[in-house]
């Protein structure tokens, strides 16, 4: 067996490196089965991307390939990278879904959802809004981070503001099938008892791994409080989620931030070169925000 150990390397080092080598081997194998890629598909299929699809399919190359090819077909048709803020801005007027200006203790991007602030009836546009913010959050992930955290505030939620089961299923399918390994954990903060009935239905459509990432949190429950403390700095966490900060969503400031991010997205995907100055035109109407989304210690 000694022939398999590199001279000068300890057993512990070899054991640590072995999974990494296997991972790299699987990524290369998947890359080979996909064949030559070009354009946006090539840009999308980074090594990190391939690794996420492999992880989602338990490192089965054929299953990962099928999943990734379905995503590439969906992206070619839906064109999520082409969605711009002005197309979905009406969905964000009440602050029902936005990217927070703080991270969790691991440095991950945080998306805040407030389903009780639902303000529209177009299910297609609601999904488009979510997809836009997923793409936006991915472009704003700190270096070395692949996943994000969801904080869901159920204040004001009721069955009248809830999305239909069919829409929930379609949304879950998009997130699971086309954004694998992007969710680190989702905190459902103080959901009302009647939500349990809805949850029992929708979790049927969810991958068991995803279900395990969903945490029900209750402010008077000691374990829930400790769980939130383990993930967040309480000084940064808004009071709605048991923290010490106050948060006020400013739609105008957030819109300015999204307009700037649209320029970033255009540059990343190469639209600024192909559309004759799209980025420059967008920059002209995207001044620096006067202030970030207001979150201050109370």
Distance CA 281, CA 264 (A): 13
Distance CA 165, CA 167 (A): 5
Q: pLDDT tens digits for 151-161?
A: 999 998 887 76
* pLDDT at residue 35, as a whole number: 87
Is the pLDDT score of 290 beyond 80? no
* pLDDT at residue 276, as a whole number: 38
* pLDDT at residue 164, as a whole number: 81
Q: Using pLDDT thresholds of 50, 70 and 90, give the confidence band for residue 23.
A: confident
Is the pLDDT score of 36 beyond 70? yes
* pLDDT at residue 22, as a whole number: 75
Q: pLDDT tens digits for 139-190?
A: 999 888 999 999 999 998 887 767 788 889 999 999 999 999 999 999 999 9
The total of other beta-carbon atoms located within 10 Å of residue 62's CB is: 11
231 or 23, which is more confident? 231
* pLDDT at residue 286, as a whole number: 40
For the chain, list the domains and their CATH numbers: 9-74 (no CATH), 81-297 (3.40.525.10)
* pLDDT at residue 294, as a whole number: 45
Q: Using pLDDT thresholds of 50, 70 and 90, give the confidence band for residue 283.
A: very low
Q: Using pLDDT thresholds of 50, 70 and 90, give the confidence band for residue 271.
A: confident
* pLDDT at residue 12, as a whole number: 54
Is the pLDDT score of 280 beyond 70? no
Is the pLDDT score of 288 beyond 80? no
22, 27, 28, 34 alpha-carbon torsion, rounded to 10°:
150
* pLDDT at residue 158, as a whole number: 81
The overall average pLDDT reported for the chain is 86
Beta strand 245-248 with 214-217 is unpaired
* pLDDT at residue 275, as a whole number: 43
3 or 190, which is more confident? 190
Question: Among residues 170, 96, 177, which one has the least CA distance to residue 129?
Answer: 96
Distance CA 42, CA 271 (A): 15
* pLDDT at residue 204, as a whole number: 94
First to last CA, the chain: 62
Q: Where are the beta strands (DSSP E) in 123-248?
A: 148-153, 183-189, 214-217, 245-248
* pLDDT at residue 160, as a whole number: 72
111 or 275, which is more confident? 111
Q: pLDDT tens digits for 87-107?
A: 999 999 999 999 999 999 999
Q: pLDDT tens digits for 37-90?
A: 999 999 999 999 999 999 999 999 999 999 999 999 999 999 999 999 999 999
């Amino acid at each position: 067996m000694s022939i398999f150990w590199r001279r000068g390397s300890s057993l512990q080092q070899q054991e640590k490196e072995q999974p990494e080598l296997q991972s790299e081997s699987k990524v290369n194998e998947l890359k080979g089965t996909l064949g030559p890629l070009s354009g946006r598909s090539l840009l999308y299929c980074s090594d990190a991307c391939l690794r996420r699809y492999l992880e989602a399919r338990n490192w089965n190359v054929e299953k990962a390939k099928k999943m990734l090819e379905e995503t590439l077909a969906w992206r070619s048709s839906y064109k999520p990278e082409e969605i711009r803020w002005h197309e979905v801005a009406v969905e964000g007027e009440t602050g029902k879904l936005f990217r927070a200006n703080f991270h969790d203790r691991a440095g991950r991007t945080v998306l805040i959802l407030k389903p009780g602030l639902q303000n529209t009836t177009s299910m297609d546009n609601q999904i488009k809004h979510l997809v836009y913010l997923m793409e936006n959050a991915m472009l704003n992930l700190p270096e070395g981070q692949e996943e994000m955290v969801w904080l869901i505030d159920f204040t004001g939620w009721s069955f009248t503001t809830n999305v239909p089961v069919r829409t929930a299923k379609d949304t879950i399918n998009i997130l699971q099938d086309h954004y694998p390994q992007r969710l680190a954990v989702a905190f459902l903060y103080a959901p009302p008892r009647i939500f349990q009935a809805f949850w029992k239905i929708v979790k049927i459509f969810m991958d068991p791994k995803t279900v395990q990432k969903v945490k029900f949190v209750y402010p008077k429950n000691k374990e829930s409080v400790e769980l939130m403390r383990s993930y967040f700095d309480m000084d940064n966490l808004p009071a709605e989620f048991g923290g010490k900060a106050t948060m006020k969503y400013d739609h105008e400031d957030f819109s300015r931030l999204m307009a700037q991010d649209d320029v970033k997205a255009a540059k990343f995907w190469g639209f600024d070169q192909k559309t004759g100055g799209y980025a420059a035109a967008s920059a002209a109407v995207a001044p620096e925000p006067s202030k970030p989304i207001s979150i201050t210690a109370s």
